[in-house]
Chain A
Amino acid sequence: MVTKSILFEYFTGNSTVLQKRMIENWLENERNKVLYYEWLAEWEQEYPQYIPDVENKLDQFLFNIDKYNKNKLTVSGLQHKKPVYHIYRNAGYVAGLLLIIAASLTLLNADYFFTKNMSTGFGEIKELSLPDGSELTLYSNSKLSWNPINFKQKRIVYLDGEANFNIIHKSDGSKFRVKSKNEVTILVYGTEFRFFTRERGSKIELNKGIIKLHYKEGKKNKVIALSPGEYISLNKENKLTERNKFNPVRNLEIKKHRFVFDNTPLSELKNLIPENFGLGIVIPDKEVEKLTLSGTYTGNSLNELINSLSAVTGLNIYKHHGRIYIVPY
């Protein structure tokens, strides 16, 4: 009979020829084979070769699962699920027209000659490089500005909207600042994060590195340090409403529209659609507004989003006179 200590000694490499023969005989029994692997598991736990970062890898694993399931947005609170597909042809023209409007507004801006401005129209995504080599993705209906003369001394940019930053770390340790109208400033040392700041509130997701968040709540100055994989949300009054973990986002996903729904009521679309696509949204039925969505949508256009939504909810979603209507069939 092979004992656990004999096997542990064998794993360590201290067995005699006779012990090895004994183990080989013992392994003829299928039950013992299972025991062999189970003890191997215990031995590796007690005498590891190195310690991997489990939680980080687990996040990745769960992220892969999520990605695999991604095309299956789920809806709860609805009895009948009926996949429906619509094809809309006009979104491209609308986005283009709005882009022209946004661009001409930028040109009329009085600060134009002193400040460098970058903006995106509804449904548009832009990738930009800053003079220091930092990169960012500017999402739909957003504006970024900075002063090119001062930028060398002080890296400060102003954001209104939503962007993903990939900031270069400077060897002299100088910081990068992102400021917003809501009196929220992010202090950065070289890092990757996503910043949402519009009138209704702010959200910051930190992918890598360290950032410090300075903001004013009422008259108080507050500071929060974020660690990688964390996100926080502030409401209109800069009150902290949410602080939690999220799954890291891969590079490919950054460059697309991404909406995360986590038991999110459909009424939230009343914020998301106008902000990102500039279209109004009408949900006449209060019961429909209360339906909740879970899942992540990543894609390129409003039409794709509408198609996915109507496929999972089984609701009739259509555009009419520049507005989106969501109604039951």
Chain B
Amino acid sequence: MEQEKSKRLKLAEEGMVNHPSSIDFIGKFPHHENTDREDFEFLIRKKFETDPTLGCTLLFRKYYNGLCSHAVRFVYSKEIAEDIVGDIFFDFWKNKVYEQINQSFSAYLFKTVRNRCLNYLKSNLHSTSKTSLNEASEMQIQDLPEDILYQDDLIKKINTAVNNLPPVCRKVFLLNRFEGKKQKEIAVELGLSLRTIESHIYKALQSLKQVLSERE
């Protein structure tokens, strides 16, 4: 058993073994401390060489939830978040983006989801719309440290803005935007007039636009 292990290790070090079962073992070797994530990404990289669709499926299962959860912090709508993430995966497969990634799939996906969310906000909620980024250049997106911190700050501000809405207004906004319910349904559910619902949603969107136009 011991012998078998060391044999496999040796082969692994020489890069001879790429069978998945050997990967677990490499991870436990003291001076080669791979995390589970690194093992997973390594495995996926191997899959992409033979079966890109399977590779995408595995990435999808692993990161779809996290990506949607992150996107929803920006766009506050399940539907939009899931559309954005779905599009990312489809482009990832169609444009063979996986062939260009040499560092980390999860890093690429999370960097991209943030960019797409920002683009979405800019073109849909921003009052003074700026030029949107070209999707083809996603690999080369410049993410300067201050940009990253700005994005995190923006998430916080959006959250605060929603939180500071008057209770009924916030409830209506979340039902409509986050849950995707129709204005009519909400009117019936809360026993309010359609006009009241409309004005609550308008008000909530105005305060989001306010947040987005605040960048110095």
Contacts and interface: CB of A to CB of B under 8 A. Distances in A.
Interface string B58-82: 0011011111111011000010001
Interface in A66-83: 68
Nearest to B38: A38
Interface string B72-116: 110000100010001001100110000000011011111100000
Interface string A38-62: 1011101100111110100110111
B30 interface: no
A36 to B, nearest CB: 7
Interface residues of B, number: 39
Using C-beta atoms within 8 Å of the partner chain, give the interface range for chain A: 20 to 34
B37 A49 contact: no
A307 to B, nearest CB: 26
B70 A50 contact: no
SS of A interface (majority) = helix
Contact of A38 (B86, B106, B156): B106
A101 interface: no
Interface stretch (B125-133, B144-152, B197-205): B144-152
A62 B57 contact: yes
B69 A49 contact: yes
A23 B147 CA distance: 12
A11 interface: yes
Contacts of A45: 65-66
Contacts of A58: 57, 60-61, 64
A57 to B, nearest CB: 6
B90 A64 contact: yes
Contacts of B152: 10-11
Nearest to B81: A52
A42 B37 contact: yes
A249 to B, nearest CB: 18
Interface string A1-21: 000000000110100000010
A118 interface: no
Contact of A36 (B73, B78, B148): B148
Contacts of B109: 41
Contacts of B108: 37
A37 B106 contact: yes
B193 interface: no
A24 interface: yes
A17 to B, nearest CB: 11
Contact of B65 (A36, A54, A64): A54
Contacts of B82: 52, 57
A51 B78 CA distance: 10
Nearest to B35: A38
B2 interface: no
B111 A41 contact: no
Contacts of A13: 156, 159
A51 B65 contact: yes
A10 B148 CA distance: 12
Contact of B103 (A10, A34, A57, A60): A34
Contact of A34 (B86, B94, B104, B146): B104
A48 B143 contact: no
B145 A28 contact: yes
Q: Which 9 A-B pairs have the closest CB atoms?
A: A27-B145, A44-B66, A37-B107, A48-B69, A37-B110, A41-B106, A49-B69, A34-B107, A24-B145
23 contacts: A11-B152, A20-B149, A25-B145, A27-B145, A27-B149, A34-B103, A36-B148, A38-B106, A38-B110, A40-B110, A41-B63, A44-B66, A44-B67, A49-B69, A49-B72, A52-B78, A54-B60, A57-B86, A61-B56, A61-B60, A61-B86, A65-B93, A68-B94
